[in-house]
Structure 1
């Protein structure tokens, strides 16, 4: 409900002190956590609820606000506003914060205090943006940390596991936002997650995971390739499944959307000027820049099941992974008219422009040095089992070298008859294939199947899996 603020006298966050009687504070909400329940020690068998948010009223000052109470009160209050809203807080309890304790799971703030809301004595009222001074709304564009203090995605990748568990700041553009995934844990708690893909001038794809409803809702408002974010205090971890580093939004994180900073403006200019190159990257595949731990891929599919899964999840941005026991039914490696080897950039592994032999991604950077390239397999194969055929699956780079049993250089030295012999060594032999399926509007099939591993199958393992699928 909108609230009139014309006649209200507000106390600036910088002027808060314990002797104030019934203070009122106005500010924009820059961070917020989900409402959560916990056992009530005073009433065994019942629960109390809590949530927190962070309010800012000037470039230099913001403060954390916490509320505890009945489930109905906390959930109703929490759902009444979102990050980006302007609120008036009346009659909160002012309490000196214990930095080590209070900021372990909450954003770090410059204020010496925290605000506590009481159901019986405090109120939070929403203001419309029309009622609020533009200077207050402009605070939503200012990061809460030094805008120069951030890691590029390349820095994170280069530092690798030495950053595992560290909390850092990240400036990046939004490449894609996945749909929220809902699940139930083993102890029957409901959860959700959303994967956001980031990129910048240095890295073409980097995962950031949101686990709470507030950050997921915020992420859903981001427009891919038009949005830049400054994420303060995200946690960096090594993901054993992907075998790479990922960022995670935590309760300390505050995300500034399209920040008004010089570095953010440079990044926004970069993504606008390189839109065509980024479209090309969708088809060339992130699988060349992420190393999946194949041991974590357990689900066995038939070709028919892959197609059904793709149909059921049409339009989704997140990929799915699996194993299929199938034949390679098309493998054009002895056809001179088919382009099966392309040059890739040695730095970012993009396929380079054939006419200029330059990398569209790296050449857009300020460096004047030419980036070296290397030849790489880039094959399209068909996969067939007893349920059907998957056409134009991508077999690329080192995965192709392992499947063919030779490097690009060794392959180029083969005669045409030797290439034909190599083809028939693999063709129509049942293989165990780990795959990744992306949904791609640029693909004529609507999806992009990439082979992460392709090896001749063990006959016993293949037979057991076929029998299992037949049941």
Structure 2
């Protein structure tokens, strides 16, 4: 506590407020110090910016100015999440220029605060009321429903390139902190994380400042939810995908206290992470396969899937069914973990996926047995191998569930096979294209029905 001067709140500061006061609040964002030569005497000056909050409705940007030694030392004394006393700040009600606003977080206060090496100070709050400020860390600085889905970011890459957007995501994985030396010889610390939401399985996000890079040490995959306000998104040519970058405008709210965040957290705990499991979930939950009307040939589907650089896509294909092996030695069913969607050990009935939340939660694993049938489809342009029928489609074709099918005699299975084998069909696909991590595309069949010659002749594409 600072003695001899009065305590104030951000809501009370006006243009006529003198500098003899102090504020108590929590640091919700912080940037690394920047240095440059002074125009007055050519000495080196430094500045560090951080964002400070003392109530749900009031948060402000603060700049610490001074010599490089002073600014570097001072900023090492506090971090995001610390409760601090801001002593004798100067309020500046001059409207920030458009250039300045490009490099600062959006705040609610109509002023900025400046701390000067000679007249101001910042120190850790010493009283026992620090806990009352901690809930402020879990309140997003933007409206809780004002965010884009990851699917929309990937689908609108051209329109969103270079834009700043809000996202609500769960942490999927974290890479180690890396040190990078710039052309000017400055050492930077960065960290890449991968995040997910209910609409898409991946967005890479780069953390460039030391505070956030080390703050991420406490983030738990499939547990930590982040509301990231003003994330810059760009096309990454190396990854062939949209990626996000945390900049000086960005504020990250951990595990926000919102209904949307709680729903995402429940989803993330059981969301699939492996490409095949991800595709299976997307295909199984596709709302209306009949809405897929874009007709493509097998060749055009394959070429688009192998090109990469695009999100999962759907297609309507007119093709014949090949390799419909349901009466041979090939298994037609699989037992999967309900949590991660991957096959379980048939000997022990335990999940062998180390990323599965069951491994760390100690919960009892739940399994389900379902159809697991792959087919080959072909038209006059080529073929697509290993197209997996989603279980509901297999049940529809065979007119029975997996338990009933396993009790059928071989003769009955063969009859069911020849009802569709080599028949011309109308097939709706969902495709997961190649990526840096996925060397071959994956195909799921959302619906399949036989088609008459007239419809085939009208709709069969030439190439």
What TM-score comes out, normalization by structure 1 length? Answer: 0.60
Q: Which residue of 2 aligns with 1:175?
A: 172
Summarize deviations over 1:6-51 as a string: whole Å, max 9, x none: 997421101112322212111110111001212222333x421111
Paired with 1:33 and 1:376, the residues of 2 have a C-alpha distance of 52
Gap change, CA 1:293 and 1:252, over 3 Å in 2: farther
Shift of 1:285: 8.8
Contact 1:166–1:235 (8 Å) recurs in 2: yes
2:79 matches 1:102:
no
Q: Which residue of 1 aligns with 2:201?
A: 204
Shift of 1:250: 0.7
Contact 1:243–1:292 (8 Å) recurs in 2: no
Q: Which residue of 2 aligns with 1:407?
A: 384
What TM-score comes out, normalization by structure 2 length? Answer: 0.61
Structure 2 gaps, min length 5? 283-304, 310-327, 335-340, 347-370, 388-433, 442-463
2:246 matches 1:246:
no
Shift of 1:83: 0.5
Structure 1 gaps, min length 5? 296-335, 343-349, 356-372, 378-396, 411-433, 438-449, 454-471
Paired with 2:143 and 2:386, the residues of 1 have a C-alpha distance of 49
Q: Which residue of 1 aligns with 2:64?
A: 67
Q: Which residue of 2 aligns with 1:166?
A: 163
Summarize deviations over 1:238-293 as a string: whole Å, max 9, x none: 11111111111010111110010111111112223x1xx53xx248599999x999
Contact 1:147–1:261 (8 Å) recurs in 2: yes
* From 133, 145, 149, the counterpart of 1:152: 149
Q: Which residue of 2 aligns with 1:125?
A: 123
Paired with 2:436 and 2:112, the residues of 1 have a C-alpha distance of 47
* From 9, 13, 18, the counterpart of 1:12: 9
Q: Which residue of 2 aligns with 1:32?
A: 30
Contact 2:5–2:21 (8 Å) recurs in 1: no
Shift of 1:436: 6.0
Contact 2:277–2:342 (8 Å) recurs in 1: no
Paired with 2:277 and 2:41, the residues of 1 have a C-alpha distance of 55
Paired with 2:232 and 2:373, the residues of 1 have a C-alpha distance of 36
Shift of 1:136: 2.3
Higher Rg: 2
3-state SS in 1 of match to 2:102:
coil
Contact 2:194–2:203 (8 Å) recurs in 1: yes
2:55 matches 1:58:
yes
Paired with 1:182 and 1:287, the residues of 2 have a C-alpha distance of 35
3-state SS in 2 of match to 1:196:
strand
Paired with 1:292 and 1:20, the residues of 2 have a C-alpha distance of 64
Paired with 2:307 and 2:249, the residues of 1 have a C-alpha distance of 29
TM-align CA RMSD:
4.1
3-state SS in 2 of match to 1:220:
helix
Paired with 1:232 and 1:137, the residues of 2 have a C-alpha distance of 19
Q: Which residue of 2 aligns with 1:266?
A: 263
Summarize deviations over 1:274-321 as a string: whole Å, max 9, x none: 1xx53xx248599999x99999xxxxxxxxxxxxxxxxxxxxxxxxxx
Gap change, CA 1:293 and 1:56, over 3 Å in 2: farther
Q: Which residue of 2 aligns with 1:369?
A: none
Shift of 1:376: 7.2
Paired with 1:293 and 1:120, the residues of 2 have a C-alpha distance of 60
Summarize deviations over 1:394-441 as a string: whole Å, max 9, x none: xxx9xxx9xxx963179xxxxxxxxxxxxxxxxxxxxxxx9967xxxx
Paired with 2:278 and 2:239, the residues of 1 have a C-alpha distance of 12
